[in-house]
A and B are shown apart, each in its own frame.
Chain A
Amino acid sequence: MKCLKDIVPAAQNNIDTRFIILEKAGRVTIEGQQKSSLALVADETAAVHFQLWGDECDAFETGDIVQLSNGIFSFNRNSLVLRAGKRGKAEKVGEFTIAYVETPNISEIRWVPHPNDSKTYVQDGVVSSHSRIFPPTA
């Protein structure tokens, strides 16, 4: 199981992790036949944007602890999101009992292809220390 700070963009469903949902975006878009919305999620090491899909949009609420199996962290319309995807699974396994940090936010990091291996990505810099979609409240 991976900590959020260790996830790296890849075109593979290879991420097993667990996190707590901090915020859900009010805006729900329709992609194809399905609803989709964004959530800010985090664990003890980092935060990231998680894409809720279909029933997940209503099934999860803030404070829920979610276990993600075979998830994928990749670009979706130019923004980096973690999601279950077609092959992965997200399920609620608890609530409340994760202490989290909001920075770094892995979706707000600039990633570039590895110089020697163009299939993998490495960090190139921080775009924003905190989520720009879910800015921290005072």
Chain B
Amino acid sequence: MSRLLELMLYWWQIVGGDCSQGNLWLCREMVNLFMDKWDTLLDEEPLVLTSALYVFLWLLADHYMIRIDPKIEDLVLNPSEFKTDGFIDVSQLYHARTSSKYFLLRITPAMELHMRFLLTHVKLGSQKRHQMWFARKHLSVPERGTLIIDIVRFICCGHHPRNEIIQSNIIPRWAVIGWLLTICRKKYIEANVKLALFYDWLFFDDKVDNIMNIEPAILLMVNSIPKYIDITHVLHDFLIYLLENYDLDRKDSISKGVATAIRSLVNSGVFESVGVLTRCEMLTPSLRERTERLLVT
């Protein structure tokens, strides 16, 4: 069955934005295979099924505008509809850690190799050509634009550099993410990239979650002051927007997650204090004030 996973990986590589007969045939065969073996897979290899679901949902999102199925709404509004023991609220899903296996389903082996090389060998200041080559090879097909979202999740949660790298002059993760933000060609992709960057803030629990997952976002904000203040502003604004709009019924839980994230970042010395943001006069007063209010609660 692990062969099957491999197959899917390779299959994804050729399917991105490719509607040729060969690819459509492959898609059909894969779906048939999953339908035929559904019960066996469910019992023996559930990870294969969830992986396939992940890949197919992305495929749909890449090629069609999805109408939200009532079932997906039920996930948030009527969790009991799913009749799954112990599943009472969607926040349980929010807090569940995503296995890095899922990001790697969309990130091809070559893409992973090249991204890890960039983040472990290329020096800050001489990254331009490698970034250009990465984009030319992996992101030039428009349908692959959504891959940037997976890449950012991969960088935050799937690539945690050793201390020697962090202290060296190798390009840091936040700088690569800053670059990825600038090459998003569509607004909805850019919004999702920002969500990918902050996602682990929203439900951060300092007892179980890794600070390395939330570190790139704060460093990108702080290090963009003052030269790239627009990036700081856009990210800060987006974070506040998420707090107020991501899930209206669970605002308190999300505020708590973000406040815990910020405190953990300060306590572990990733950045000095939240004053870097709240006292930064280049940011709008309302944004600074809302950040202060968040930390009081």
The one of B123, B126, B133 that contacts A95, using a Cβ cutoff of 8 Å: B133
Chain A window 84-113, contacts with chain B (Cβ cutoff 8 Å), 1 for yes, 0 for no: 000000000001110111100000000000
Indicate whether A22 reaches chain B with its CB closer than 8 angstroms. Answer: yes
Indicate whether B250 reaches chain A with its CB closer than 8 angstroms. Answer: no
Of all chain B residues, the one with the shortest Cβ separation from A99 is: B121
Report how many A-B pairs have Cβ atoms within 8 Å.
Answer: 28
The one of B122, B123, B129, B136 that contacts A22, using a Cβ cutoff of 8 Å: B129
Chain B window 127-140, contacts with chain A (Cβ cutoff 8 Å), 1 for yes, 0 for no: 01110011011000
Interface residues on B, range: 10 to 19
With a cutoff of 8 Å between Cβ atoms, the chain A residues found around residue B130 in the complex are 96
Q: Is the CB of B137 within 8 A of A63?
A: yes
Q: Is the CB of A97 within 8 A of B137?
A: no
Q: Do A62 and B117 contact each other (CB < 8 Å), given the known contacts A99-B122, A99-B123? A: no
Q: Is the CB of B136 within 8 A of A96?
A: no
Indicate whether B233 reaches chain A with its CB closer than 8 angstroms. Answer: no
Indicate whether B33 reaches chain A with its CB closer than 8 angstroms. Answer: no
The one of B113, B128, B129 that contacts A63, using a Cβ cutoff of 8 Å: B129
How many residues in A have their beta carbons less than 8 Å from beta carbons of B? Answer: 11
Of all chain A residues, the one with the shortest Cβ separation from B136 is: A63
Q: Is the CB of B121 within 8 A of A62?
A: no
A104 to chain B, nearest CB (A): 15
Indicate whether B114 reaches chain A with its CB closer than 8 angstroms. Answer: yes
Chain B window 92-130, contacts with chain A (Cβ cutoff 8 Å), 1 for yes, 0 for no: 000000000000000000000110010001110010111
B139 to chain A, nearest CB (A): 14
Of all chain B residues, the one with the shortest Cβ separation from A101 is: B126
B137 to chain A, nearest CB (A): 7
With a cutoff of 8 Å between Cβ atoms, the chain B residues found around residue A95 in the complex are 133, 137
Q: Is the CB of B114 within 8 A of A97?
A: yes
Question: How far apart are the CA atoms of A101 and B123 in the complex, in Å?
Answer: 10
Of all chain A residues, the one with the shortest Cβ separation from B117 is: A97
Of all chain B residues, the one with the shortest Cβ separation from A137 is: B128
With a cutoff of 8 Å between Cβ atoms, the chain B residues found around residue A99 in the complex are 121-123, 126
Q: Is the CB of A62 within 8 A of B123?
A: no
Question: How far apart are the CA atoms of A49 and B128 in the complex, in Å?
Answer: 20
Question: How far apart are the CA atoms of A22 and B127 in the complex, in Å?
Answer: 12
With a cutoff of 8 Å between Cβ atoms, the chain A residues found around residue B126 in the complex are 99-102
Q: Is the CB of B113 within 8 A of A62?
A: no
Question: How far apart are the CA atoms of A7 and B113 in the complex, in Å?
Answer: 30
A96 to chain B, nearest CB (A): 5
With a cutoff of 8 Å between Cβ atoms, the chain B residues found around residue A96 in the complex are 113-114, 117, 130, 133-134, 137
A119 to chain B, nearest CB (A): 37
Chain B window 257-275, contacts with chain A (Cβ cutoff 8 Å), 1 for yes, 0 for no: 0000000000000000000
B19 to chain A, nearest CB (A): 27
With a cutoff of 8 Å between Cβ atoms, the chain A residues found around residue B137 in the complex are 63, 95-96
Q: Is the CB of A63 within 8 A of B133?
A: yes
Question: How far apart are the CA atoms of A130 and B129 in the complex, in Å?
Answer: 16
Question: How far apart are the CA atoms of A48 and B70 in the complex, in Å?
Answer: 62
With a cutoff of 8 Å between Cβ atoms, the chain B residues found around residue A100 in the complex are 126
A18 to chain B, nearest CB (A): 15
Interface residues of A (CB under 8 A from B): 22, 62-63, 95-97, 99-102, 137
A-B residue pairs in contact (CB < 8 Å), sample of 11 = A22-B129, A62-B133, A63-B136, A95-B133, A96-B113, A96-B134, A96-B137, A97-B113, A99-B121, A100-B126, A101-B126
Interface residues of B (CB under 8 A from A): 113-114, 117, 121-123, 126, 128-130, 133-134, 136-137
Given contact pairs A95-B133, A96-B130, enumerate 18 new A-B contacts (beta carbons under 8 Å): A22-B129, A63-B129, A63-B133, A63-B136, A63-B137, A95-B137, A96-B113, A96-B117, A96-B133, A96-B134, A96-B137, A97-B113, A97-B117, A97-B121, A99-B121, A100-B126, A102-B126, A137-B128
6 closest A-B pairs by CB:
A63-B133, A99-B121, A97-B117, A96-B114, A99-B122, A96-B133
